[in-house]
Structures are given as structure tokens and as C-alpha cells.
Amino acid sequence: MRKTKILSLGIIMALLALMVSVSSCFPVATTGANGSTTTPAGSGSYNIWLLLAFIVILFGLMYFFTIRPQRKKQQETVKMLQALQKGDKIITNAGIYGTIENVYEDSFLIKTDSGTMKVAKWAVVGKQPEETSHS
């Protein structure tokens, strides 16, 4: 939850900086003493590079705070599902606890206290925690 708040704050700050940068991309004309209008030399080019830098930073933040952790978690889930085998105790996303009796290509046959059922592999969220014996 804390990462989400930090990411939101970063995005808001980046958008504010982007707005300031975009508004400053268009140089303001100044009126000289003799009535002629002039614009600062090179200021538009500098501001465009600043705008591009903020956009790159924004996408970098999005990658490191959202895309990268999501991919990492997805890879860990795929590895866990591939490593499951007969006899492993699992938990489904519906909160059903069971033991794998058979492994199919896209599903598991699990035995629960109330019987046997077939569940899709994507519905398995993990292994049951190991029970420790109290001595």
C-alpha cells in the first residue's frame, strides 16, 4: 500500500512538472523600449529537452514501481505452478484447501475434506504453509 502512495505522489509531481514544462515550451514575447517584440533565444529548444527528460523519468518510475514487480510476481507464480506435483497441499483463490491427486495440462485434481474436485491451474494461489508440531 505504501508503494502505491509513493507512486501516486511521484506521478502527480511528474505531471505537475510536465505541465510547467509544457507551458514554458512556448516562449513569451517581450516588448522592448522601442515597441518591438523579442523572444529569448534558444529557450524553446531547452524546454523541449526538459519536457522529454520528465517524460522519460515518468516512464522509468512507472516501470520500476509497477511493471517490473508485476512481471517478477508473475514469473514466481508460473515457477510455483510448474513445480507442483502429486501430494502437494495447496490453496485456491476461492480459499479451498486440498491435496493434489493428479496433474493435468491446465488443471489439478485435488482432494478436499468434502470430496474430490478439479480446479484450473490459474486458480491455485500457493502451497499450504507447513504445519509445525507443538511439543
pLDDT in tens, 14-61: 777 766 666 665 555 556 566 555 555 555 667 788 778 888 888 888
**Which CATH number fits the domain that encloses residue 98?**
2.30.30.140
Cβ count within 10 A of residue 107: 16
Residue 35 lies in a domain: no
> 34: which DSSP letter?
T
Question: Is pLDDT above 60 for 122?
Answer: yes
**Residues 51, 75 share a domain:** yes
Based on the structure, what is the number of domains in the chain?
2
pLDDT digits (tens, 9 = 90+) for 55-108: 888 888 888 888 889 999 999 999 999 999 999 999 999 999 999 999 999 999
Cβ count within 10 A of residue 66: 13
Environment class of 57 (CB within 10 Å of its CB; exposed 0-12, middle 13-18, buried 19+): middle
Residue 98's contacts (CB-CB under 8 Å, 6 or more residues apart) are 89, 90, 92, 110, 111, 112, 117, 119
